[in-house]
Chain A
Amino acid sequence: MQLTQPAQQANRQSRRARLVDRVISVVFLICAILLVAIILAVIFFIASQSFQVFFQGATLKGFFFGTFWDPTGDITGGAPSYGAGGLILGTVITTVFAMIIVVPFAIGTAVFFTEAAPQWLVRIMQPLIEIFTGIPSVVIGFLGLITIIPLIQKLSAPLTGNLPTGGYGWATAILVLVIMVLPTTMSISIDALRAVPGSVREASLALGSTRWQLMYRAVIPACATGLGTAVVLGFTRAIGEALAVALVLGGSQIPNWPWTLAVFFQPNVNITGQITSNFQETAGTAQYAYWTLAFVLLVITLIFVSISRFLSSRSVYK
């Protein structure tokens, strides 16, 4: 069939437009796939570095349960020692204690915030939570150094025998973590609570429940999985927190006998603090030891992300 001149031109134009559309959609697809490529690369490269240390003198048992961390061998001047048990213990203890403090405060505040708080309080809290969710961790670390450490030092003086380094350590790290993690956990909890439809509240109130019964018996159970996600993501954040904690820990080894109360108030270690302060000064096998630590962190966070994903797949209201 013979087309007229303008019709041919229009045909060409629309064919070109379709081609452009096609090319652009492929380019955009590549950008979306890039995200998957990044996370796979992160896992691959860190995993590939992390097993090297076990071919160069470290044993699995020694790494996870040994308590003397000296991958360069500088402290003893002899053979390097890869006992990361103390670092792992430090991370576990600071994270768990921080979350024990964070959870009641975060969920309590979030429930009050969504269910009962007067407008003026909401108007003050909303921007505060947003600002604190993004607060730089070094700033909180600095605050810990100049405000929390002197305070803890004074309070713990009877326990530690007035050490000059008293105040540094797990206790301060826990408080710093609380400040870092509280806003995140709180704002995810608030989102979860807001996703509960009003009909749940109306049904509960219509049955004559008090405010507290409404929260405790209706709203919280309705979004239990959402609150669980908030707690899990809080854990993820606490485990990975680095600079603030590195500034206030101030130790290089776990104290010899860590099962006393005083251990919370003297210079101590955790995983991220050690990586932050020493990773860059090392090379070779010593650096592989730090890669293994990073891999441990990565695996823990991957597990926590999977848990949060599982929880949110189970939740009724999103």
Chain B
Amino acid sequence: MSLQEVAPSQAREVRLSALKRIARRLAVTNSIAMGVLWLITLLVAALFIYIIISLIVQGASTLISPTFYGTSDAGIAPELFNTFYILILTELILVPLSLAAAIYLVEYSPQGRFITVIHFAAETLSGVPSLVLGMFGFLVFAVYLHLGISRLAGALTLLCLNFPLALRLFESSLESVPGDLREGALALGATKWRAIRTVVLPTALPGIITGVILTAGKIIGEAAALIFTMGLFNPGNVFTLNPLIPSDTLTTHLYYIKGPGAGTLSLTSSQETALAAGLSAVLIILLLIINLSARAIGRAIQRRVTAA
């Protein structure tokens, strides 16, 4: 074997082993990184699952006691009523306004600066902390508009809080309606409004319902915007439709029990904790229901789209 034949094969082996080293290093780095990412993700998932389960388990013993659903200090009947009252009142104002704004932006407005301005305003408003919006609502609705600390003031504050979210959800549901449908209606001689009313809105309806459900979740969970505008106390008779009385909700009541109102109700400390645990569990369960129904509707839309 001559020298000339050995040298190239040795050089090749050197190159080959260098490449193998690089490949091995890459593989090791890759497995370490993937292991870390697996660990992080599983940790986060475990944390989330632990929180939900522990909240429901802690509230379970309260959830099955009948006094929890009564009107005594240990019961949440008034708060449940108020929460759903304020939910419906807010949605009644929020849905028409934000849907109208969304229709204008998607169907009427020319693309350009105006839409940018509205979107910038929406983004800014959605960034304002809900506590600050609560103070704004207190000043403007309760004091300047003389509504007092009342359900109506609370609903108007929640309107300000949820307007950007509702607008975004409604806009995307309108945008997902195919343009052919609009063009077909307009080609038949319909005015724009008639095309929207008879063609676009019915097609976008599932998306609109999902939007309503998602804002409902945010309204039920909101507290910081309500403590200054709707108060932390109930008047004698809560079960009325009067929008001008102060009320508490599930969330603000939970804050009151564990915060400023600890020890003021006719409850022992352990009863207070049990009540708070029950309230947390009820809120979590409501949110789970809302999330599941929004997902179910989303799936129904997808089925319809893929079937068509």
Contact = CB atoms under 8 A, between A and B. Distances in A.
Contacts of A241: 129
Interface residues of A, number: 88
Contacts, number: 251
B104 A25 contact: yes
Contact of B259 (A35, A143, A247): A247
A137 B223 contact: yes
B30 A213 contact: yes
Interface string A238-249: 011111001100
A130 interface: yes
Interface of B: 26-27, 29-30, 33-34, 36-38, 40-41, 43-45, 47-49, 51-52, 54-55, 58, 97-98, 100-101, 103-105, 108-109, 117-118, 120-125, 127-133, 135-136, 138-140, 160, 163-164, 167, 191-194, 214, 217-218, 220-224, 227-228, 251-252, 254-255, 258-260, 273, 276-277, 280, 283-284, 287-288, 291-292, 295
Given A21-B192, A28-B101, A108-B36, A49 B287 contact: no
Contacts of A124: 45
A143 B120 contact: no
Top 4 nearest A-B pairs (CB, nearest first) are A240-B129, A136-B221, A28-B104, A31-B100
A138 B41 contact: no
Given A29-B108, A139-B280, A240-B130, 13 more contacts: A18-B191, A20-B191, A20-B193, A38-B160, A46-B135, A111-B37, A116-B34, A142-B277, A212-B34, A216-B33, A279-B135, A298-B129, A302-B127
B127 A294 contact: no
Given A28-B103, A35-B101, A136-B222, A211 B164 contact: no
Contacts of B120: 309
Interface string A201-227: 000000000111101100000000000
B55 A139 contact: yes
A297 interface: yes
Contacts of B292: 127
SS class, residues of chain A in contact with chain B: helix
Nearest to B29: A212
B252 to A, nearest CB: 8
Interface of A: 17-18, 20-21, 24-25, 27-29, 31-32, 34-36, 38-39, 41-42, 45-46, 49, 104-105, 108-109, 111-113, 116-117, 121, 124-125, 127-132, 134-143, 145-147, 179, 182-183, 186, 210-213, 215-216, 233, 236, 239-243, 246-247, 272, 275-277, 279-280, 290-291, 294, 297-298, 301-302, 304-305, 308-309
A116 B255 contact: no
A240 B283 contact: no
Contacts of A147: 54
